[in-house]
Structure 1
Amino acid sequence: MSNGRRSADDYEITPDLPDSALHTTGTDHITLIGSNAEDTIEFYRDVLGMPLVLRQPNLDDPSQTHLFFDSGDGGIVTFFVNEDRDSDPRPQRTGIGAVHHISFSIDPERFVEIKESLDAIGHGYNEFDRGIFHSLYTRDHNGLTIELSTDKWAIPDDRRGEVLATAQRLREEEGVDFAEERHVDAALEELGIDADKYELPDAPTGAGI
């Protein structure tokens, strides 16, 4: 590259732990700057179904309240809110260091039911088949893009990275730009993983909202 930096293609794709001073064990929590408590709770608890599990002052700024939601697998999403802040549903402008979107897992066996529940409350979304997973895209009350993603296969959590890395190798060997269902199917076969495939509705591919 002209700036002397290595490109993403220069780095090996592997599920093996890197030679690093530390290794993380998961995502503990993500904290976002929210608007007010009412709108935040209405979306994350009442629309997405996340229990509100903790509420306390922001330890660094007691003028703000710190809300904690359980995203479903032990990972926590938290917000700093203040009753003087109005929500702004306009799409957020992204830049370096900004949050592009947050993706939450949903149960593949409830995928159609979840779509119907969003339809029932009039909360808009777009649906896409991403080849290796299936997603709904919507926005929260502050314009943050929220992805509701479901796996197409019942892959054990401790093998997901291995499956994706193998699918990556197979799609590169085939010379195509994106990993598709056939690459995951081939990866599962190569790795000897017997993973049931879920029945999901047909949906277009393409960009999110």
Structure 2
Amino acid sequence: MSYHHLALAAKDMAGIHAFYEGIMGFELVKVEIAPVMGGGWGKHFFYRMDGDDSKFIAFWELNDTPGQDEYAYDLNEAAKTPQGTNHYSFSVDSPQDLENWRKKWNAAGLDVLEIDHNWCHSVYTRDPNGNMIEYCLTTGSFTEDDRKRALAALDEQEMNASPPPAKMKQWLASEYQG
């Protein structure tokens, strides 16, 4: 089973569109416009990912909704959690794909964080709502020992840290050479 779509509110729909279609390459294919529960109305924009008509990321442009001046669009700001805790991740198929996304984001003026987590390798940036997004390549496999460690961690009350990342690098857009 996979998901159909992730839906998020948009602070600036024009900025969201420029980012998700212009930079990410997701195609805007549908909008639903309707009243919103609790009052007001919204436009629900659906962006098709990878040309697949069963996988979307969607954004709400909310209008005339109660309290909309107080909305927090960054998931971590809204939840009052540390930056990067709540984020969304898309998969890539190769190390070259990961490098291509890093370069594309830097060329678009976005800072990028790269982390080799020892079992997956990731690049991260932020969207116009301030949310962290990730492209991730699984580079390892999972063993029964990995499962046992994960199950044991469910009951642990003190930090028993995982090995540190094999690599961590900040790629600043201001230093990007193309």
> Fold-level match, TM-score > 0.5?
yes
Contact map agreement 2:46 2:58 (CA 8 A) in 1: yes
Larger radius of gyration: 1
TM-score, structure 2 normalization: 0.65
More strand per residue:
2
Unaligned runs of 5+ in 1: 1-24, 154-162, 182-201
Cα displacement (A) at 1:123:
1.0
Cα displacement (A) at 1:204:
2.2
SS at match of 2:47: strand
> For residues 91 and 33 of structure 1, what CA distance do their matches in structure 2 show?
10
Unaligned runs of 5+ in 2: 151-159, 170-178
- The reply on whether 1:203 has 2:152 as its aligned counterpart is no
Structure 1 residue aligned with 2:147: 169
- The reply on whether 1:28 has 2:4 as its aligned counterpart is yes
Cα displacement (A) at 1:95:
3.8
User: What's the C-alpha RMSD, in Å, of the aligned pairs?
Assistant: 3.6
Pairs within 5 Å for 1:1-209: 25-58=1-34, 60=36, 63-72=41-50, 74-82=54-62, 92-93=76-77, 94-95=79-80, 100-108=86-94, 109-152=96-139, 163-164=141-142, 166=144, 168-169=146-147, 177-178=161-162, 203-204=167-168
Say if 1:59 and 1:41 are closer, same or farther in 2 by CA, change over 3 A: same
Cα displacement (A) at 1:75:
2.1
Say if 1:89 and 1:79 are closer, same or farther in 2 by CA, change over 3 A: closer
Contact map agreement 1:66 1:78 (CA 8 A) in 2: yes
Where do 4+ consecutive residues of structure 1 move more than 6 Å?
83-86, 88-91
> For residues 164 and 5 of structure 2, what CA distance do their matches in structure 1 show?
30
